[in-house]
Structure 1
């Protein structure tokens, strides 16, 4: 009997150590970036039942006085997965959550961690944008993908709200410099850790996959924020999606794309060029074709950017 159960036990072990075979349930892990900084790197595909809607990156910072999370995940169901990932690298409790994102899979886990005693911190503008999009998030793609796993998730907002466009907070002796980017979603922000020279960019930077322009996105803000990131020039970039990178890769996969959207597509719109001709002309770009989701997003990104600039 025991011998017959061994294959099943082996499979269960794989599922819960993050080494599950392809197609099985996703188990997040925290990979080390620097001495006390880790990143949970989510899949680059869409939100699915198997990945719990965690197709984004999250930060884990150990301080000696408690763990800081950068973003809280997509809901109540994902909270225990994040807790297990943290417990694998630290025995400190999760004391703080910093929201730098407004998209659903970045902050709908707030309530779970608040119930565990964590303090959630965010810009006031981030909270206002979360409130604006909350109803849409609660009936959108995330609950459609998660089904019953979304049960128990509810919008919850920061306990500590930061005024202005920039702020510096010190938690457990770790200094974190925050600034709004307002690029992918209004109210989005990035976080820089000067002691570790690590930047958590949120959805300002994508690597390995093409960034998306939504109707509410602003590529001009994206380009301006990316230029501020370049001025910081961090040694390590934890993007919103994709692997931990350096500035060279972030510039190749995101910075250059913002520049293209603003200064090529946007300029064409300002020059009253025919939109269909512009989209056809730039549909096939070797510089970005290597990025995942290029076929799905590139023409849409150009279209939305053109319309934005056309209305200026």
Structure 2
């Protein structure tokens, strides 16, 4: 299973990368979410040398037995930057790494942490997608981060959970681990009931528009969002954007998924013309304010239309 859509999905961003020479250097920093739970919020733009491919959100939980890191970065270089951000908060070592998904910046730092003694966890479907897309992801990343990719080797979970849901306890911290298969097949969210925090992986985007890649599944995303609503977290760490709450997650992701299904999906099922449908729904006022709207919305609609046309 190869994901040609990875290259296509990354190429959508090329129009946003012309000013990389002026892009400020990104330094990952932790922010406390609740108690011993922290988030590291990445920039909203494309992968670059300035941000070391860390254009996503990460997190960690500090326990008496060590640190639990959620997602490991896009390379060994990026992983070291995340490690430094953790060390600014606690001297505890990173003992566990959990992968929410299989997009490059969520797991290609696994090997870095494994070589330092961390135990890597993921769901089986996530690992399957990682193995299928690793070669293509490394080739694609080379164009964005250059020599920062040196020393990066794909590393896979040594502890694999069957899914699609799993209850896991590490360092005395309970996790509810739920498969979403929204952005990539096998993607997941991780809920911490003791602190009412959910790391959504790429199920939720806020502040910027959700990206629908060729391998994304907006129907599964909408179903998974309802599962997230049932968990009712007080704090939401989205895949992209600032730490938030369910109200913003609903407004900027849940509602957008429903918009695509109810309008674009319905038009495809009704055998309406593609071009007319894209023009009709080109400028929904409730989403136009989101970063990257102009670059992504029409492509999102096109992919959803084709999906519903082929699989009504």
2:282 matched to which residue of 1? 283
Q: TM-score with structure 2 length normalisation?
A: 0.92
**Any unmatched runs of 5+ in structure 1?**
1-21
Mapped partners of 2:288, 2:163: distance in 1: 37
2:176 matched to which residue of 1? 177
Q: CA deviation at 1:84?
A: 1.1
1:249 aligns with 2:281: no
Mapped partners of 2:34, 2:109: distance in 1: 25
3-state SS, counterpart of residue 279 of structure 2: helix
2:155 matched to which residue of 1? 156
**Any unmatched runs of 5+ in structure 2?**
1-21
Moved more, 187-196 or 263-272: 263-272
2:144 matched to which residue of 1? 145
Q: CA deviation at 1:138?
A: 1.2
Q: CA deviation at 1:266?
A: 0.5
Mapped partners of 1:24, 1:292: distance in 2: 18
1:52 matched to which residue of 2? 52
3-state SS, counterpart of residue 206 of structure 1: coil
Kindly report which structure 2 residues correspond to 1:184-263, keeping only aligned pairs within 5 A, or say none: 184-263=183-262
Q: CA deviation at 1:150?
A: 0.6
Mapped partners of 2:158, 2:104: distance in 1: 18
How large is the Cα RMSD of the aligned pairs? 0.8
Mapped partners of 1:151, 1:80: distance in 2: 13
1:39 matched to which residue of 2? 39
Mapped partners of 1:289, 1:40: distance in 2: 26
Mapped partners of 1:195, 1:62: distance in 2: 13
Moved more, 24-33 or 237-246: 24-33
2:300 matched to which residue of 1? 301
Number of residues paired by the alignment? Answer: 290
Q: CA deviation at 1:64?
A: 1.2
1:95 matched to which residue of 2? 95
Mapped partners of 1:298, 1:80: distance in 2: 34
Mapped partners of 2:142, 2:269: distance in 1: 39
Q: CA deviation at 1:133?
A: 0.7
2:18 matched to which residue of 1? none
1:27 aligns with 2:38: no
Mapped partners of 2:29, 2:259: distance in 1: 34
**Which one scores higher on RCO, CA 8 angstroms, separation ≥ 6?**
2
1:14 matched to which residue of 2? none
Q: CA deviation at 1:164?
A: 2.7
Runs (4+) of structure 1 moved beyond 3 Å? none
Q: CA deviation at 1:29?
A: 0.3
- Cα deviation 1:126-181 (Å, max 9, x = unaligned): 000001111110101x2111111111111110010001300011001000110100
1:72 aligns with 2:62: no
Q: CA deviation at 1:23?
A: 3.7
3-state SS, counterpart of residue 238 of structure 2: strand
Mapped partners of 2:163, 2:181: distance in 1: 13
Kindly report which structure 2 residues correspond to 1:2-17, keeping only aligned pairs within 5 A, or say none: none
